Structure 1
Amino acid sequence: MATTAILGAGVMGETLVSGLIRSGRNPADLVITGRTPDKVNALGEKYGVRVLSNAAAADVADTLVLCVKPQDMAALLDEIHDHVAPGNAVVSLAAGITTEFLESRLPEGTSVIRVMPNTPALVDQGMAGISPGKHCTDDHLAEAEELLSSCGKVVRLAEKHLDAVTAISGSGPAYIFYVVEAMIEAGVVLGLPRATSTELVVQTLYGAATMLKETHEHPTVLREQVSSPGGTTVAALRQLDDHKVRAAFVTAIEAAAARSKELASGQG
């Protein structure tokens, strides 16, 4: 079985390791690295996987998954450059790091895949966008897809769309948490105990998301089913429209995409 190395086994790295093992991957085929020896050794013991240096991990791996912070990527690529063999796949989970950046700092012709994951991967409900580099083979792209599928869903798309993916699914959980916070606070203002308000909102969110996923109905249809003429829901929705909440969400997501583009082009 091919060996996969997770370089920089922090939160997302551990998420991948645990997801792969739950999906049936042999721990003997996994290698992890990390900057903090105590933490990475504890992870190695927890999952029964090997702990190596970055260079040694690159030497033994067929697939290298780069999970370091964007600002640490250049140094990592320098460290592993001479240890990446022809036929290896390099998968990057670092936000704003382009395939061009990776390819320019790896051996000529290296097969590179860029990934934009999100935090629900922690509960096996992730949504990842993946894009191939210039030299990426179909087999390597399929391998990356399978890798990420261990902790959620995966969609393939051209790299030019990854700023939008970052803005929608990468940052998206924060928008949902923001709305949930507001709804819980409204319940408290209306006199509900905070714990009760939280339970009502979280289960409502879970139920609404499940309806969207399982009924395959357009959200407009589902919204209209709840909105009786002259009722409570339309009274609330009118306030949201009056405050231009829908437009604010579109503007906010556009801003996130613009910031993602800035980061990718090295403008801050």
Structure 2
Amino acid sequence: MIPASFDYSAPSTLDEALKLLNELGDEAKILAGGHSLIPMMKLRFAEPEHLVDLNNIPGLSYVRIEDDYLKIGAMTREVELEESHHVIDHFQIFKDATKLIADPQVRNFGTIGGNLAHGDAANDHPALMIALNAEVEITGLEGKRTVGIDDFFYGFYATAVQDGEILTEIRIPLPEGKYGNAYHKTERKVGDYATGGVAVQIVLDDNGVCTSAGIGLTNVNPTPLRAKRSEEALVGTTVDADAIEKAAQYASEDCNPSTDLRGDEDYKRRIIKVLTKRMITKALERAQS
């Protein structure tokens, strides 16, 4: 299908983009990679009167370690995460995810900021950011503000980014101690949305006891979901078989999948239980190595 007609602007500075967004109000939509917005426009699910393209704005694409954080610019492409030595050294979970996101054409242009700002629980990065306890920097004309990931997604396709604001940076804290992280999803075919997915991060002290755990679930809730009881089941343990079994059971009970063409509710709960076991085990192995 063909999208409805719209006006288009490609500002060359962040300040120019913010002024445009504030002038246009809710008539405008931000264009980053476009792989979520453009299909919705073609189906007439979204009919913005104006697109503000961020691709000509310098300084929004980077991956670096700074102040004990992995910092990722919002316009960083998926392929850049896949190839970054900072990511490979500290957060192998991104390599797990990028191999599962759509196809190389999409990964070459799709952005991490766009993935998060879309607010879709079926996207992969929300679960990763929950597991990694990320923070999101949002910029407006009055300055910058930082939002914790648990306060970022608050409704169906709804995020903390308000009209006139732009998501500019994602910050992921480097854990203290030995840590590992992992992600996998089940999908009907390559490039499809997940039937269910699980992201896990495990942090261990010198005695092998879990001091922190993060578990995010993909596409089994109207909003991106933290598996809180599952995390609590691991903290304070050596992440043995009993703890892993309990965490997996809690994840399957606490998610809220809906029956659709990818499977019924019971099937999706089983998927989450199996993936939670596997990803905890994989993250633990990485932490121990």
Global fold match (TM > 0.5): no
Larger strand proportion of the pair: 2
Comparing both chains, which one has the higher relative contact order based on Cα–Cα distances under 8 Å and sequence gaps of 6 or more?
2
**TM-score (norm. length: structure 2):** 0.27
Larger helix proportion of the pair: 1
